[in-house]
Amino acid sequence: MKKVAIIMGSISDMPVVEKAIKTLQEFGVPHEVHVYSAHRTPEEAHAFSASARENGFGVIIAAAGMAAHLAGSLAANTTLPVIGIPMKSTTFANGIDALLSTVQMPSGIPVATVAVDGAVNAALLSIEILAVADDELAGKLAAKRAADTKKVLAANAEAEAKYNC
């Protein structure tokens, strides 16, 4: 199975990124976590993304806030799918700046973008990408969806019984 890389621009992103790590662990997906900054460690970020395919990665998740250039800079150096997690900050608009920066990539260098602090969906999207070529992983995703459906329907039945006349 291919690995998922999780790159964060700052160690302060770890509380959100841990949700992606936990999700990947629950699915048994191998992964690596690194802290590389598009601005403070550009050579290291470039080297990582340029060699990611050869090093056994299938997807890169990039978490960054504020200017949020990390996902785009990684995507510029690889043809692997890159998923950006715009990170919330208290500096400006609760992460809207990072969301707009992550989603506004120029034609030819795509970055899939999830919600602000959307680490779980970033992990699930990376799992879906890997599952295209992995039937066992696809089965695990289908089982998760079925379990999620069951929980919602149980909550619906409880609400209907309690509140409907």
pLDDT at 123: 98
Number of H helices, E strands in the chain: 6, 5
> The tokens of 77 are what?
């150096």
Q: How high is the mean pLDDT of the chain?
A: 96
pLDDT at 3: 98
Q: What is the pTM of this model?
A: 0.94
Give the DSSP per-residue string, 61-91.
EEEEETT--HHHHHHTT-SS-EEEEEEP-SS
Domain range list for the chain: 3-133, 135-165
Query: Looking only at Cα atoms, what is the longest distance across the chain?
Result: 65
CA separation, residue 57 to residues 6, 31, 83, 88 (Å) = 10, 8, 13, 27
What CA–CA distance (Å, rounded) separates 101 from 78? Answer: 19
Q: CB neighbours (10 Å) of residue 36? A: 24
> The tokens of 48 are what?
């990582």
Which fold, 3-133? Rossmann fold (3.40.50)
Q: What is the pLDDT of residues 112-131, one digit of tens each?
A: 999 999 999 999 999 999 99
Helix (H, G, I), strand (E, B) or coil at 37: coil
Partners of 86 in the beta sheet? 64
Q: What is the pLDDT of residues 65-115, one digit of tens each?
A: 988 999 999 999 999 999 999 999 877 778 999 999 999 999 999 999 999
pLDDT at 165: 84
Q: Which amino acid is at 109?
A: I
pLDDT at 131: 98
